[in-house]
Amino acid sequence: MALWFECRIRYDKMMENGSVKRVTEPYLVDALSFTEAEARIIEEQKPFISGDFSIPAIKKTNIAEIFFDDCCDKWWSVKYNLITLDEKSGKERRTAVYVMVQANDQQGATDRFNKGMKGTMSDYEIEKVAETKIMDVYPYSPK
């Protein structure tokens, strides 16, 4: 299971109108530690940034899985509940799980999520689908 870190990178970005603006953008990085996450985000973003930049924040996320779709550019957070039965009491138990889905709109994110969950044996219900500010996601890939 991947461990995902949200890394924020601050740099001067050239805007469409030609002006330069200081921006802070969030990215997701698959890493084993905060140190590795910082090194990976620097390595991934260096070709796109000229000048000074900083990493003002890195935090661990509770994302369990990522559903990629290369034709889309927005990232959506899907919170769903796994539904299980407690054998002793016979009551339903709900466990919240968070997934990131790449899609163009909310309906596309829901459809992509359901397609990704197709082989699942567990019952689940979608609680929330929300657009995020994540700019890109960098899974681990061996050199």
Exposure string for 9-27, b = 16+ CB within 10 A, e = fewer: bebeeeeeeeeeeeeeebb
What confidence tens digit (pLDDT) does each residue in 86-123 have?
A: 888 889 999 999 999 999 999 999 999 999 999 888 89
What does DSSP say about strands 20-30 and 63-67: parallel, antiparallel, or unpaired?
A: unpaired
pTM strictly above 0.85 = yes
Rounded CA-CA distance 28/55 in Å is: 13
Which whole number is the average pLDDT over 39-52? 92
- List the beta strands (DSSP E) in the chain: 4-14, 20-30, 53-60, 63-67, 74-85, 92-103, 123-131, 137-138
**pLDDT given at position 139:** 95
**pLDDT given at position 88:** 86
**pLDDT given at position 4:** 97
For residue 22, give Cα distances in angstroms to 47, 52, 87: 18, 10, 55
Fold of 1-61: Ubiquitin-like (UB roll) (3.10.20)
pLDDT range class, residue 137, cuts 50, 70, 90: very high
Residue range(s) in the chain whose domain bears CATH number 3.10.20:
1-61
